[in-house]
Amino acid sequence: MKLYLKIWRQSDAASQGKLVDYELDNVIPHMSFLEMMDTLNEELVLKGDRPVEFDHDCREGICGQCGMMINGQAHGPIANLTTCQLHMREFKDGDTIYVEPFRALAFPIKRDLRVDRSAFDRIIMAGGFISVNTGQAPEANGIPITHEQAESAFDSAACIGCGACVATCKNSSAALFTSAKISHLAKLPQGKMESRKRVLSMVKQMDEENFGHCSNTEACEVECPQQISVLNIARMNWEYSLSSVLKK
């Protein structure tokens, strides 16, 4: 396959970026999108150019690092997929592919396709934990919980923090990410005890990081590699209103 690539190049956060054209021959349909990017970078290095920087880690679809906007869609044209799990067979020979970084006021670009998603870390640090000294591993059946409840909590906990929800949101809202973390802990007996305080501090941090409002378009759920449900957002809204009213 031969591809025409238009890739966002930006040398640092302060500078102006632009789309740069590249042509790439010998792309194999079985390659993952990241392997295609590796191939391009190999060519660039051999030519003495600076390779395109992008985030990646596990390449198994579970770490959430490889965020890219491909042809104007988060993680490319397939719903519920990470970039590393997107394969070149989804494209045709001679296609032009636009590659841009995830964009949001809260996600400043560091270089090329690499963005700073530490705003997510600070939201977690604001309350996405259980503040007890756990000591040794407790007896697994010490706290009774139903299978359904455990599964539901796990569905929320499956969020890998990739940022596709923010990237695909017209307002760059972090409602899906934040609500997944809040719901995951609120659904478990250990986390429930602090849920009132947690929701207030995590939402406060989310706002301070300059994420937008949630318009309930539900685009985030469509693009989320883990199919995190938008009902987590509803639960966060409920917990938040209740906690605001009951706050002493």
Partner 1 sequence: MDSKKGASTLMRKTLMALTGLFLCFFLVIHLLGNLQLLLPVEQAKVSFNSYSQILSGNIFIKVISYILYASIIVHCLDALVITLKNKKTAGKYAVDNRGKASKWYSRNMGILGTLILIFLVFHFRDFWYQYKFGSLPKDESGHKDLYAIVVAAYQDWWYVLFYVFSMFALGYHLLHGFYSAARSLGLYHPKYVSWVRIFGTGYSYIITIGFAIIPIYIYLTQHVLWN
List residues near partner 1 by CB under 8 A.
6, 8, 19, 69, 71-74, 79, 98, 100, 102-107, 166-173, 203-204, 206-208, 210-219, 222-223, 230-242, 244
Min dist CB 42 to partner 1, Å, is 25
By CB atoms closer than 10 A (0-12, 13-18, 19+), residue 162 is: buried
For partner 1, which is the closer residue by CB, 32 or 221? 221
Min dist CB 222 to partner 1, Å, is 4
For partner 1, which is the closer residue by CB, 143 or 242? 242
For partner 1, which is the closer residue by CB, 26 or 118? 118
Min dist CB 106 to partner 1, Å, is 7
Min dist CB 175 to partner 1, Å, is 8
**For tokens 């997944």, what's the residue?**
180
For partner 1, which is the closer residue by CB, 34 or 97? 97
Min dist CB 104 to partner 1, Å, is 4
**Which stretches of 10-134 are assigned E, i.e. beta strand?**
18-24, 69-70, 73-74, 96-100, 109-111, 114-115
With a CB cutoff of 8 Å and minimum separation 6, the contacts of 208 are none
Min dist CB 122 to partner 1, Å, is 12
Is residue 160 within 8 A of residue 225, CB to CB? The reply is: yes
Handedness of CA 169, 118, 69, 223 (dihedral sign): negative
Q: Can you read off the two tokens belonging to residue 104?
A: 């949001």
For partner 1, which is the closer residue by CB, 88 or 119? 119
Q: Can you read off the two tokens belonging to residue 1?
A: 């396959």
For partner 1, which is the closer residue by CB, 112 or 239? 239
Q: Can you read off the two tokens belonging to residue 236?
A: 């966060």
Handedness of CA 130, 132, 133, 135 (dihedral sign): negative
